[in-house]
Structure 1
Amino acid sequence: MKLAAMFKMILAMSIFGSIGFFTVKTGVPAIELVFVRCIFATIFLSLCWLLTGHHKVEVWNKRELLVTLICGIFLVLNWVFLFKAFEQMSITISISIYHLAPIFVLILGSLVLKERMNIMSLIAIVVCFLGSILVVGTNGYSSLTDLVNSGFIWALLAAICYAMTMLLGKGINQLSAYAMTFVQTFIGIIILFPFIDLSKFDNLTFFNWLFILGTGFIHTGLVYYLFFDSLRKLPTSVISALVFLDPAVAILLDIIIVGFRPSLMQIIDILLIFSGMVYTLVKPKKNGKYETIEGNLNP
């Protein structure tokens, strides 16, 4: 069972790593694409929820339902901001900044949950933020508007919303993964509906629709099924390691297929970001051993 769960997690994170490539091929703006994604996810995962019989034994708690709804808002905003970042900067740089989320979990945990932060954690935060600023590059950004238009702010906002999803998800224990995701994606449909411009779906090619369907059914429905089905069967240490497959696949596809060529400085900055991330996911104990951070690692 552990091997099957590990295979599902590897497959889920590898598939999700290609979402940036699919997103730029859909020809649809971020809000409209997330709206479609929420519809497909709600249909697919509600069917899984019903077919597995989890709906019969679901435990509904008012507090958890409220937390799930708030978590869903941050999850949807996370998708919108990430897709907007893909529209304005390379997938490699967007993903690198986006995966600052564990750093924001560390910061928010110290501020909101009063968790203690040691000197090494502070160094990890400084290293990651330094890398995220430098990886965008400073040439050509003469104003704050230029920096915003580069996609940097969108990727940063996506990371913050991702971190909020992780923190809030830690408080959801009774609802099944299917029920939780159904509520989150359904609330996404309601939130985004007033902002949808249906004309954005006009004049799309057959291949555009293939990538849209892929983003909905594969990257949302299938990936979430594989992810949640394996999540509770694997130790956090394994999950923390496999989560790096997502950015690794994204960066490789950006380089091999899209043709992005990072400069030497950008490569160094990306390494700075991920080295800081490694520390936040695997924290050293005082006795020299290591422990992993528990958290909701939703893709």
Structure 2
Amino acid sequence: MSLTTDREGYIRYPAKMEDRKALVALIVTVLIWGSSFAAVKIVLGEVTPLGLSFLRSVVATFALVLLLGFNEGFAKLRRALREKFVYFIVLGVAGVVLFNIFQNMGIQYTSSGIASVLLATNPLFVLVLGTVFLQERINRNKSIGMTFGFVGVVIIMLGGKSIVGFLISSSFIGNILVLCSALCWGLYVIMNKKVLQRYSPLLLTASAFIFGSLVLFLLCLSSGDFPAIMSLSMTSWLLVIYLGFVSSGVAYFLWNYALNKTEASKASVFLFLIPVVAILLGKVILAERITFSIAAGGGLVLSGIYLIQR
């Protein structure tokens, strides 16, 4: 999933609502991003988290570079890569390599629905990291939102288990790994803040994916993942293309289209539907359980994120 962020690192929402096409674009975007979690879970049955990270990153890089060339031209990309070579490598490692590897590893051990809710906590990490590294202030709404988010995460991770049962469960490991993924995205956003005034979010994303893909290629080469990659079934290849091209490219284009057509208050509602879509598809496609702890904890997490981004 790729989101456009504002200068403070939070999700940037549209400004006016007058085009019904924008409403369709938002619905389709939410369905694409929400369905990506089940797709990841399915492909992980045939390839390692590292292998999937590489495949998804390569396809996404192709889609994002094409989108960037269409919108801004390739000259800007070449100039940016020369100017901020090392910076984009660091961005790629945090926002592409570690983000995807932790997410994929986590989804191996937890449900796709829970993963979607925990990954939605990335604004909480952005808030905390912004306070620590950028001396950003936390107001009352953000404090309450952080509290809601933290309590929601605890409820989801405990899942009705005792403390001992919680600590020895495989889902505990998966949930922690997904939270590490959200933390990596928070670091990526904080690092982006230093250059957002100079480069567009699309250029930053494409540049990070270019270097992230190169790093993942080297990791796959050293780990011997390529034989498994080459033996993927047709279904998995189609899902990889869906994850990389559709989820990162098409959905990014649709989201940016809606940014110019829709009011912030109306668009923000749709992003909270991403975990809902993921949980429902996890139930339908993967037969995952929807428990009280997922519903209650997820509600608190999403309420907290809403307060933080008001």
Return the TM-score normalized by structure 2. 0.78
CA contact (8 A) 1:147 1:153 kept: no
CA change 1:59–1:38 in 2 (3 A) is: closer
2:278 to 233, 250, 254: 250
Taking the aligned partners of 1:237 and 1:160, their CA distance within structure 2 comes to 26
Indicate yes or no: 2:189 matched with 1:161: no
Worse-matched range after superposition: 143-152 or 102-111: 143-152
What is residue 295 of structure 1 aligned with on the other side? Answer: none
CA change 1:52–1:118 in 2 (3 A) is: closer
What is residue 183 of structure 1 aligned with on the other side? Answer: 207
Indicate yes or no: 2:41 matched with 1:41: no
1:222 to 236, 242, 250: 250
Indicate yes or no: 2:93 matched with 1:70: no
1:227-270 Cα offsets, whole Å, 9 max, x none, are 34444665554543332232221112112322222222332122
Taking the aligned partners of 1:186 and 1:247, their CA distance within structure 2 comes to 28
Worse-matched range after superposition: 175-184 or 268-277: 175-184
1:31 to 50, 53, 74: 50
Return the letter of the residue paired with 1:135. Answer: I
CA contact (8 A) 2:68 2:74 kept: yes
1:186 Cα deviation (Å)?
0.8
1:109 Cα deviation (Å)?
1.9
Indicate yes or no: 2:36 matched with 1:54: no
Indicate yes or no: 2:254 matched with 1:200: no
Taking the aligned partners of 1:213 and 1:7, their CA distance within structure 2 comes to 22
What is residue 124 of structure 1 aligned with on the other side? Answer: 145
DSSP 3-state at the match of 1:151: helix
Taking the aligned partners of 2:264 and 2:78, their CA distance within structure 1 comes to 24
1:71 Cα deviation (Å)?
3.0
What is residue 280 of structure 1 aligned with on the other side? Answer: 308
Return the TM-score normalized by structure 1. 0.81
RMSD of aligned alpha carbons: 2.9
CA change 1:69–1:224 in 2 (3 A) is: farther
DSSP 3-state at the match of 1:175: coil
Unaligned runs of 5+ in 2: 1-16
Taking the aligned partners of 2:26 and 2:263, their CA distance within structure 1 comes to 12
DSSP 3-state at the match of 2:181: helix
Return the letter of the residue paired with 1:151. Answer: G
Taking the aligned partners of 2:198 and 2:257, their CA distance within structure 1 comes to 16
Taking the aligned partners of 1:92 and 1:188, their CA distance within structure 2 comes to 26
CA contact (8 A) 1:64 1:172 kept: no
Indicate yes or no: 2:298 matched with 1:270: yes
CA contact (8 A) 1:134 1:269 kept: yes
1:21 Cα deviation (Å)?
1.0
Unaligned runs of 5+ in 1: 283-299
1:23 Cα deviation (Å)?
0.9
After TM superposition, the structure 1 = structure 2 runs for residues 91-130 of structure 1, keeping only pairs within 5 Å, are 91-130=112-151
DSSP 3-state at the match of 1:169: helix
After TM superposition, the structure 1 = structure 2 runs for residues 13-32 of structure 1, keeping only pairs within 5 Å, are 13-26=30-43, 27-32=46-51
1:201 Cα deviation (Å)?
1.9
CA contact (8 A) 1:74 1:161 kept: yes
CA change 1:67–1:9 in 2 (3 A) is: farther
Return the letter of the residue paired with 1:165. Answer: Y
CA contact (8 A) 2:89 2:212 kept: no
CA contact (8 A) 1:98 1:159 kept: yes
Give the total of aligned pairs: 282
1:149 Cα deviation (Å)?
5.7
DSSP 3-state at the match of 2:279: helix
Taking the aligned partners of 1:35 and 1:91, their CA distance within structure 2 comes to 20
What is residue 10 of structure 2 aligned with on the other side? Answer: none
